[in-house]
Structure 1
């Protein structure tokens, strides 16, 4: 009797599995995405605000093309011809203050366009290539850069002058300082030979006469860079100062990735990135005083906290830490509109500090206006670090600067009065601000925020000095807005969880209704009822509320098994109400749910969209809270959604592959099976820019690397592991899984397999590769989580 009772659950599972079918298949959903339809992106406007441009592919071309839709065209759009694109191109364009004029370059011609009459005139045809044309504060002069120097065109007298005199050559040696041996020989020779002595004396007399005659002529100033090439050359709006950057790259060893299927038939080594622990690139900012003919460089030595050591040094009591100025990176000078003041963004090379400082243009002295310190690492939407200045600039009053900061725990927009040092938060709350910009009249801000919900993005307007934010978009999901130049219309790329992007247009008014302009879904795609995943939160072991997407099967078809998906990139958001960049995985989750699986997609610690504490929750321990969040997600499914704790698998790519490995090695009683795709196995072998922020460097913080790298925990593998990796992956190198495979062999593990893809980089391209990979993933789950 007992044997019959034990057999009944297995019969039920077999029955349910037989009933659980799907109209989807891996072959079907992993085809070239063109089968889904065509979806718009990158909306922009014509200068007269009468035409919307966007990327599209209505004709199923090999790639998206530029399309246009006129506001008077009754919804009909057409592909933009190459000729029309060239006619509308404005390379290096720059507007004057009221946007009535535009300067741009066309070939080697400097052009000026009247925006009301839409007519252009050539100002000058320059003999060399040039770039970066800019109106100066008086708007009668236009500066541009050519061959490493700045030139100024005067519109009134139609003349051009050279503003800077920078040479990449070495400074000529001072001829007055001669060689002692040569001078002795010359002296002896002149004493012996009278005619030679007389000729030299006559020559000196002539030279002295010429110099006396020309003594009123000032010797031309030249700044020699000694072979270094200056970059980011710019002139202050008042024409009194110029600034430039000198980049000195460190010599770091790069790794090689063999390409075994090169068209030549030979194995070709791809020269790729170096590994974490790079020496930083040195960046110097020079100020060229055009009135005093002198150059001086910014010096970070007086920045507050420049010698501060990170907190983690206390974990190494036996090591002596040298107290010294940390390396910093400048991201360029920002001149005030009148050119009389300047600020600079500075990031420490260890990325734990960001300073915004005012610059004394007469001396180069820095005065700190704002310091952002994070014992983890500086980041977040719009926040400058290293070479990237983020959201940073001046208001037209030449008094206030604006920037974003995570001071409150979320990235918000701030104003700072440079004359008083007083700082004001323009936005606040448990949400983040994205891509703020000033209106045409400089009296308002336009900005996107997540104020409504972390899973939504809406567009707002706000007074320039702060105040009530007017919400302009209303559609639930993601509203990616392009504002027309006349600021009367919004072009919106909008999508929802189960609805891919479409183009909409809306009046720039609160409460205005958006009108749909495109319908890109194919009939084939629309034939399936794509799920709108439920957004849930579950409680983590430390009390945090973890957001997730939940896909629930029909109770009559549920097989009791669950699959947890781990998104890649670490700092990325996938629990939201818009069409996911992981659209293939989204379709795969619909297939799994049809087959009776419960699927959970978690925005684990380290994910974007939830503020500073969530972002830095993985500092010095990847595979810590980000892994425990996956485990807690499984506990949530078991407790609330009828999942069998012995039938849980997980999968993910890149960072998701890394978590999959850590889960199978360190939580083997929670996860029975996993598919680790293009996964990092040892963080000491990944790149510097990403890894050093989170784990510092292996030389200085080996504890962080040892507890964060799956290769050190391989002996913990109990369940079933599939690894899949592209062999020409120049991001996470194939070497990662090769080294881990050798560890498995040495440990005697036999419950793993590896699928290799000879033609694939980090992001797969070929539909055949996607299909093969996901067939293997589905087979793994079906055989280990369902079949017993």
Structure 2
């Protein structure tokens, strides 16, 4: 009988799924409880919003553990909570745009446009079509509501109810009205017209008729043909005279395939997933349509400061005895964001380079398409930070007709800057060794409402800051994390608050310093509250390069201490896990409580690249993932042996996604530091991962092969000595199952024996099924019990 390679591979994975026996657990917590997730903890309030009259708070909740969460409403006066009926759900308004006096609001819901009077909350439905209408705004004179339908812009006259189409973008290419004649045929036609008067007269009559029709033709918007490009970022100026839009030419790339073996049909299905890093990037053009002149013209970028600059890392690939040329012949590809308009029709744009090294904020002259620099932010690594770039798109907003605000990491931390677009003067509004995380301009445009970690990197608080004086006033004070949603009248705060041991709940608070926070929801289960959750201690240890690395420490009582320790590595790379609020890794936190009950010490590190600590902390992994971020794990292990009395031969490590990657690197590059490790949904080769995340950090494999070689675990697999457990979902469309399949083949070829793989056939990157979570962590617990305890 012939056995295919695929069948053999499946047999291999089936063997790897062999069930482990239950390992003795001394904790009052069980893995079955913990891995139920929210069914054990409680379903917490989410997606907070306010009613338009500022009298009610809406939120998603599931206190009764139903199949799906439902929408709830709490009256802020009576504190009464009720579940919304289907009719109430339909009538709930979405966020929208207000008129300058805040008397009127326009918003989109279910693909239609609505217009509301905020004095009596009466609503007019502007559109009711099968097309999808979106992005409604008021015109500058507030006589019209302007909205987008499919790929075109329309205006609705508030007084008359008349709808007018302002643009006419058409997919495809413009067909020639008359086919061009060959030189021979054109000569013949000219001769016929010259020889026969009747033919010449008929042609003249035809031209006269066409001219008269053109004179009588109702004016319509210019037909603009997209010619196979995709229309994006469609915006119109407040005076309705200029339309700015982007045309995207997609790049042709090969996508990856993720096979799904467990399907309802019984057939293996192939999921069309994302391409890999290093793919060709789409190119973008920005154009302006002048409605009054019925003309279009392109915004050119070759005059932008630094547009020809090469990235510094290319010096490493300059041949010896050659001089590095720091300039390209052609301008770098950039993306011009949608314009942000002032009330008097000035426009500014956010421009980012495709190599992630630059961000420009520029004036855009609408009448000519010319650009003028306001601010340039450059980083030899990559531009990022909260509301600056990368995971958080750069924000810009007008304060008045002359000034804009934006965020920059110029000082190493994300702060607010105010620029005068006329004079070019830029002033700093906030400063210090902390991050401004979220920013909202007040209605009167005299102050900002902020979320910052000014108190410490481990707390998030709400502030007011005066634009005139820069004075900051702290509003919230409870130790922990505050997620704030401001009421429309700006008098009340709906707050999701939590601390280390208490999950997120909904609170109400007046928008005043030191006002009392009133708890509105009670979400945690009795089962969850019956356990005494341990308060993590936040510590710092010194790394080999002198940096103070933050971490949380959980320690067992002296009578239970088994001399072993586990280091947990968080995922995403750019994420924070050392803090005083309820962790997004709440299952892991509960598992760590169970480990402590069983005598383990648990250290969780905010290693280099974690968020919340500024630019230099983030970019310290540039061109070397598994460099300083891995050093921090090794130095953390040294801290445990030196300061916490841990046996150097009883240290394990585990983590998922980026944490799984670090676990692999730790087991391969520092085999004498960790006795065992569990790598969950881990990246084994960065050249397999996606472009948007990987290219800013490592550039591209073709252009920066050095970075990929020293950052990919598969290159170091030969170093494995300890006990490695690999766990991965087979339908992972983020970190593909292919990564660990390739790694397993490498380990086989290296004749490594002390490793196991467990696969989860129905799980994507983020596990969903409680049974999968439980099986996964049962294996991890068994690994540590069998290899770290004596």
Residues 52 and 324 of structure 1, relative CA distance in 2, 3 Å threshold:
same
Partner of 1:205: 204
Residues 181 and 466 of structure 1, relative CA distance in 2, 3 Å threshold:
farther
1:306 aligns with 2:307: yes
- Residue 178 of structure 1 deviates from its aligned partner by 3.0
Residues 657 and 154 of structure 1, relative CA distance in 2, 3 Å threshold:
same
- Residue 131 of structure 1 deviates from its aligned partner by 2.7
Question: C-alpha distance in 1, partners of 2:214/2:30?
Answer: 88
Which is further off, 137-146 or 321-330?
A: 321-330
Partner of 1:786: 789
Which is further off, 650-659 or 113-122?
A: 113-122
Question: C-alpha distance in 2, partners of 1:663/1:227?
Answer: 48
Partner of 1:507: 510
Contact 2:193 2:200 survives alignment (8 Å) = no
For the aligned residue pairs, the C-alpha RMSD in angstroms reads 2.2
Contact 2:233 2:337 survives alignment (8 Å) = no
Contact 2:231 2:246 survives alignment (8 Å) = yes
Partner of 1:9: none
Contact 1:331 1:389 survives alignment (8 Å) = no
Residues 402 and 30 of structure 1, relative CA distance in 2, 3 Å threshold:
same
Q: Deviations over 1:48-91 (max 9, x none)?
A: 11111111101211122111110233x3311111210101234x
1:327 aligns with 2:326: no
- Residue 222 of structure 1 deviates from its aligned partner by 3.2
Q: Deviations over 1:306-328 (max 9, x none)?
A: 11111111211229875431111
Aligned with 2:459: secondary structure? coil
Contact 1:112 1:121 survives alignment (8 Å) = yes
1:476 aligns with 2:476: no
Aligned with 1:34: secondary structure? helix
Partner of 2:41: 36
Which is further off, 649-658 or 141-150?
A: 141-150
- Residue 377 of structure 1 deviates from its aligned partner by 0.7
Contact 1:391 1:435 survives alignment (8 Å) = no
Q: Deviations over 1:386-410 (max 9, x none)?
A: 9x74221111x21111111100000
- Residue 225 of structure 1 deviates from its aligned partner by 2.8
Aligned with 2:728: secondary structure? strand
Contact 1:110 1:126 survives alignment (8 Å) = no
Contact 2:235 2:338 survives alignment (8 Å) = no
Partner of 2:27: 22
Question: C-alpha distance in 2, partners of 1:27/1:146?
Answer: 50
Which of 57, 74, 84 aligns to 1:80? It is 84
Contact 2:33 2:40 survives alignment (8 Å) = no
Which is further off, 657-666 or 93-102?
A: 93-102
Which is further off, 459-468 or 246-255?
A: 459-468
Partner of 1:336: 342
Instruction: Describe how 1:350-499 pairs up with structure 2 within 5 A.
Output: 350-384=355-389, 389-395=393-399, 397-499=400-502
Contact 1:345 1:384 survives alignment (8 Å) = no
Aligned with 2:296: secondary structure? strand
Instruction: Describe how 1:567-646 pairs up with structure 2 within 5 A.
Output: 567-646=570-649
- Residue 511 of structure 1 deviates from its aligned partner by 1.1
- Residue 425 of structure 1 deviates from its aligned partner by 1.2
Contact 1:130 1:145 survives alignment (8 Å) = yes
- Residue 186 of structure 1 deviates from its aligned partner by 3.6
Residues 700 and 240 of structure 1, relative CA distance in 2, 3 Å threshold:
same
Question: C-alpha distance in 2, partners of 1:121/1:768?
Answer: 49
Residues 518 and 122 of structure 1, relative CA distance in 2, 3 Å threshold:
closer
Question: C-alpha distance in 2, partners of 1:58/1:447?
Answer: 31
Question: C-alpha distance in 2, partners of 1:523/1:641?
Answer: 34
Partner of 1:692: 695
Residues 685 and 127 of structure 1, relative CA distance in 2, 3 Å threshold:
closer
Question: C-alpha distance in 2, partners of 1:468/1:541?
Answer: 39
Contact 2:228 2:249 survives alignment (8 Å) = no
Question: C-alpha distance in 2, partners of 1:493/1:280?
Answer: 39
Question: C-alpha distance in 2, partners of 1:353/1:299?
Answer: 17
Question: C-alpha distance in 2, partners of 1:524/1:293?
Answer: 68
Aligned with 2:119: secondary structure? coil
Residues 69 and 202 of structure 1, relative CA distance in 2, 3 Å threshold:
same
Which is further off, 372-381 or 262-271?
A: 262-271
- Residue 684 of structure 1 deviates from its aligned partner by 0.7
Which is further off, 559-568 or 376-385?
A: 376-385
Aligned with 2:273: secondary structure? strand
Contact 1:409 1:611 survives alignment (8 Å) = yes
Residues 122 and 718 of structure 1, relative CA distance in 2, 3 Å threshold:
closer
Aligned with 2:503: secondary structure? strand
Aligned with 1:118: secondary structure? coil
Instruction: Describe how 1:528-547 pairs up with structure 2 within 5 A.
Output: 528-547=531-550
Aligned with 2:280: secondary structure? coil
Aligned with 1:324: secondary structure? coil
- Residue 504 of structure 1 deviates from its aligned partner by 0.9
Residues 215 and 670 of structure 1, relative CA distance in 2, 3 Å threshold:
closer
Residues 717 and 124 of structure 1, relative CA distance in 2, 3 Å threshold:
closer
Q: How many residues align?
A: 761
Partner of 2:751: 748
Contact 2:112 2:134 survives alignment (8 Å) = no
Contact 1:285 1:332 survives alignment (8 Å) = no
Partner of 2:65: 60
Aligned with 1:715: secondary structure? helix
Question: C-alpha distance in 2, partners of 1:326/1:699?
Answer: 17
Residues 602 and 217 of structure 1, relative CA distance in 2, 3 Å threshold:
same
Q: Deviations over 1:408-432 (max 9, x none)?
A: 0001111111011111111110110
Q: Deviations over 1:503-560 (max 9, x none)?
A: 1111111111111111211111111100110000000000000000000110121111
Which of 652, 658, 662 aligns to 1:655? It is 658
Which is further off, 371-380 or 139-148?
A: 139-148
Question: C-alpha distance in 2, partners of 1:26/1:222?
Answer: 63
Partner of 1:235: 236
Question: C-alpha distance in 2, partners of 1:57/1:675?
Answer: 33
Aligned with 1:722: secondary structure? strand
Contact 1:20 1:557 survives alignment (8 Å) = no
Question: C-alpha distance in 2, partners of 1:385/1:718?
Answer: 37
Question: C-alpha distance in 2, partners of 1:205/1:569?
Answer: 72
Question: C-alpha distance in 2, partners of 1:123/1:768?
Answer: 49
Partner of 1:260: 261
- Residue 636 of structure 1 deviates from its aligned partner by 0.9
- Residue 467 of structure 1 deviates from its aligned partner by 1.4
Question: C-alpha distance in 2, partners of 1:737/1:688?
Answer: 19
Unaligned 5+ segments in structure 2 are: 1-22
Unaligned 5+ segments in structure 1 are: 1-17
Partner of 2:10: none
- Residue 381 of structure 1 deviates from its aligned partner by 0.4
Question: C-alpha distance in 1, partners of 2:209/2:96?
Answer: 48
